[in-house]
Amino acid sequence: MPLFPEIDRTKTIQDVAYFFKHEYRRLLAMANMQRLDYKSPVVSDMPGGGPGMDAHEVIAMGIDVQNTLESLRRTINALPDREKSVFIKHIDQQMTFTDIAKSSIYAESTLKDHMSQAYLYIADGFHPRLSDGTIVDFHHYPTVQISYEPGTIEEVHNMAQEDR
Protein backbone atom coordinates (compact mmCIF):
# COMPACT_ATOMS: atom_id res chain seq x y z
CA MET A 1 0.00 0.00 0.00
CA PRO A 2 1.55 3.34 -1.01
CA LEU A 3 2.23 5.98 1.61
CA PHE A 4 0.85 8.81 -0.55
CA PRO A 5 -2.17 8.82 -2.86
CA GLU A 6 -1.49 8.52 -6.57
CA ILE A 7 -1.53 11.82 -8.46
CA ASP A 8 -1.97 12.72 -12.10
CA ARG A 9 1.54 14.09 -12.64
CA THR A 10 0.78 15.75 -15.99
CA LYS A 11 -2.24 17.71 -14.74
CA THR A 12 -0.45 18.64 -11.51
CA ILE A 13 2.55 20.00 -13.45
CA GLN A 14 0.18 21.91 -15.76
CA ASP A 15 -1.61 23.55 -12.80
CA VAL A 16 1.63 24.65 -11.13
CA ALA A 17 2.96 25.95 -14.47
CA TYR A 18 -0.30 27.86 -14.99
CA PHE A 19 0.03 29.43 -11.55
CA PHE A 20 3.52 30.71 -12.31
CA LYS A 21 2.62 31.86 -15.81
CA HIS A 22 -0.63 33.65 -14.95
CA GLU A 23 -1.00 34.26 -11.22
CA TYR A 24 2.49 34.53 -9.71
CA ARG A 25 3.26 37.97 -11.22
CA ARG A 26 -0.14 39.25 -10.11
CA LEU A 27 0.51 38.00 -6.58
CA LEU A 28 3.87 39.80 -6.55
CA ALA A 29 2.24 42.98 -7.89
CA MET A 30 -0.35 42.84 -5.11
CA ALA A 31 2.55 42.74 -2.63
CA ASN A 32 4.40 45.53 -4.50
CA MET A 33 7.29 43.18 -5.24
CA GLN A 34 9.25 42.50 -8.45
CA ARG A 35 10.33 39.00 -7.40
CA LEU A 36 10.14 36.83 -4.36
CA ASP A 37 13.00 37.32 -1.91
CA TYR A 38 13.92 33.80 -0.85
CA LYS A 39 15.76 34.97 2.26
CA SER A 40 13.45 37.43 4.00
CA PRO A 41 9.96 38.04 2.64
CA VAL A 42 8.73 41.53 3.36
CA VAL A 43 5.55 42.75 1.77
CA SER A 44 6.23 46.41 1.19
CA ASP A 45 2.67 47.61 1.49
CA MET A 46 -0.85 46.39 2.11
CA PRO A 47 -2.57 45.48 -1.16
CA GLY A 48 -5.19 47.97 -2.27
CA GLY A 49 -8.77 46.90 -2.52
CA GLY A 50 -10.89 46.72 -5.61
CA PRO A 51 -14.17 48.50 -6.20
CA GLY A 52 -16.77 47.61 -3.61
CA MET A 53 -14.33 46.01 -1.18
CA ASP A 54 -14.65 46.96 2.46
CA ALA A 55 -11.73 47.28 4.89
CA HIS A 56 -12.15 43.73 6.21
CA GLU A 57 -11.92 42.27 2.69
CA VAL A 58 -8.79 44.31 1.96
CA ILE A 59 -7.17 43.14 5.21
CA ALA A 60 -8.13 39.51 4.50
CA MET A 61 -6.68 39.82 1.01
CA GLY A 62 -3.46 41.26 2.46
CA ILE A 63 -3.18 38.38 4.90
CA ASP A 64 -3.82 35.88 2.09
CA VAL A 65 -1.08 37.48 -0.04
CA GLN A 66 1.41 37.39 2.86
CA ASN A 67 0.57 33.78 3.78
CA THR A 68 0.75 32.66 0.15
CA LEU A 69 4.11 34.35 -0.47
CA GLU A 70 5.57 32.99 2.77
CA SER A 71 4.42 29.47 1.93
CA LEU A 72 5.81 29.85 -1.57
CA ARG A 73 9.16 31.14 -0.27
CA ARG A 74 9.53 28.21 2.13
CA THR A 75 8.58 25.72 -0.57
CA ILE A 76 11.03 27.11 -3.13
CA ASN A 77 13.83 27.26 -0.56
CA ALA A 78 13.27 23.57 0.13
CA LEU A 79 13.72 22.56 -3.52
CA PRO A 80 16.80 20.47 -4.32
CA ASP A 81 19.62 22.69 -5.62
CA ARG A 82 19.37 21.64 -9.26
CA GLU A 83 15.60 22.17 -9.47
CA LYS A 84 15.81 25.40 -7.47
CA SER A 85 18.46 26.83 -9.79
CA VAL A 86 16.44 26.05 -12.94
CA PHE A 87 13.26 27.34 -11.29
CA ILE A 88 14.77 30.69 -10.28
CA LYS A 89 16.40 31.22 -13.66
CA HIS A 90 13.27 30.34 -15.61
CA ILE A 91 10.58 31.92 -13.41
CA ASP A 92 12.21 34.86 -11.63
CA GLN A 93 14.90 35.77 -14.14
CA GLN A 94 12.58 34.82 -17.03
CA MET A 95 15.32 33.00 -18.92
CA THR A 96 14.38 30.54 -21.65
CA PHE A 97 15.52 26.95 -21.39
CA THR A 98 17.76 27.62 -24.40
CA ASP A 99 19.51 30.45 -22.54
CA ILE A 100 19.84 28.38 -19.37
CA ALA A 101 21.29 25.47 -21.37
CA LYS A 102 23.94 27.76 -22.89
CA SER A 103 25.24 28.62 -19.44
CA SER A 104 25.02 25.13 -17.93
CA ILE A 105 26.07 21.55 -18.55
CA TYR A 106 22.50 20.37 -19.13
CA ALA A 107 20.55 20.00 -22.37
CA GLU A 108 17.24 21.83 -22.78
CA SER A 109 15.26 18.59 -22.42
CA THR A 110 17.03 17.84 -19.13
CA LEU A 111 16.32 21.36 -17.86
CA LYS A 112 12.64 20.94 -18.74
CA ASP A 113 12.63 17.67 -16.79
CA HIS A 114 14.19 19.49 -13.80
CA MET A 115 11.53 22.19 -14.10
CA SER A 116 8.74 19.58 -14.17
CA GLN A 117 10.23 17.96 -11.09
CA ALA A 118 10.41 21.39 -9.40
CA TYR A 119 6.71 21.89 -10.16
CA LEU A 120 5.90 18.52 -8.57
CA TYR A 121 7.95 19.42 -5.47
CA ILE A 122 6.12 22.76 -5.30
CA ALA A 123 2.75 20.98 -5.51
CA ASP A 124 3.88 18.76 -2.62
CA GLY A 125 5.05 21.61 -0.38
CA PHE A 126 2.93 24.64 -1.25
CA HIS A 127 -0.27 24.64 0.81
CA PRO A 128 -1.11 28.12 2.08
CA ARG A 129 -4.26 28.50 4.15
CA LEU A 130 -6.41 31.40 2.96
CA SER A 131 -8.46 33.57 5.31
CA ASP A 132 -11.68 31.80 4.30
CA GLY A 133 -10.19 28.47 5.45
CA THR A 134 -9.37 27.20 1.95
CA ILE A 135 -6.09 25.31 1.61
CA VAL A 136 -4.49 25.57 -1.82
CA ASP A 137 -3.57 22.19 -3.32
CA PHE A 138 -2.24 21.87 -6.88
CA HIS A 139 -2.41 18.08 -6.92
CA HIS A 140 -4.73 16.30 -9.32
CA TYR A 141 -5.90 12.89 -8.23
CA PRO A 142 -7.12 10.28 -10.71
CA THR A 143 -10.86 9.79 -10.75
CA VAL A 144 -11.85 6.51 -9.19
CA GLN A 145 -14.93 4.71 -10.47
CA ILE A 146 -16.85 3.03 -7.67
CA SER A 147 -19.62 0.65 -8.51
CA TYR A 148 -22.38 0.53 -5.98
CA GLU A 149 -25.24 -1.88 -5.76
CA PRO A 150 -27.81 -0.74 -3.27
CA GLY A 151 -28.60 -3.14 -0.46
CA THR A 152 -30.18 -3.08 2.92
CA ILE A 153 -28.29 -1.78 5.92
CA GLU A 154 -28.19 -5.34 7.23
CA GLU A 155 -26.50 -6.59 4.01
CA VAL A 156 -23.88 -3.81 4.18
CA HIS A 157 -23.23 -4.58 7.87
CA ASN A 158 -22.82 -8.30 7.12
CA MET A 159 -20.36 -7.52 4.28
CA ALA A 160 -18.31 -5.33 6.63
CA GLN A 161 -18.22 -8.13 9.21
CA GLU A 162 -16.98 -10.59 6.55
CA ASP A 163 -14.12 -8.24 5.61
CA ARG A 164 -12.73 -8.33 9.15
Residue 60 has pLDDT above 70, yes or no: no
User: Residues 6 or more apart from 11 whose CB is under 8 A from it?
Assistant: 140
Predicted confidence band of residue 158 (pLDDT cuts 50, 70, 90): low
Backbone angles phi, psi at 37, to 5 degrees: -90, 115
Q: Lowest-confidence range among 33-37, 55-59, 105-109?
A: 55-59
User: Angle at the Cα of 5 (from 27 to 147), degrees rounded to 5?
Assistant: 115
Residue 86 has pLDDT above 90, yes or no: yes
Rounded mean pLDDT, 18-34: 88
Q: Is the pTM of this model over 0.75?
A: no
> Collapsing DSSP states into helix, strand and coil, what is residue 17?
helix
Residue 163 has pLDDT above 70, yes or no: no
Tell me, what's the pLDDT at 33? 82
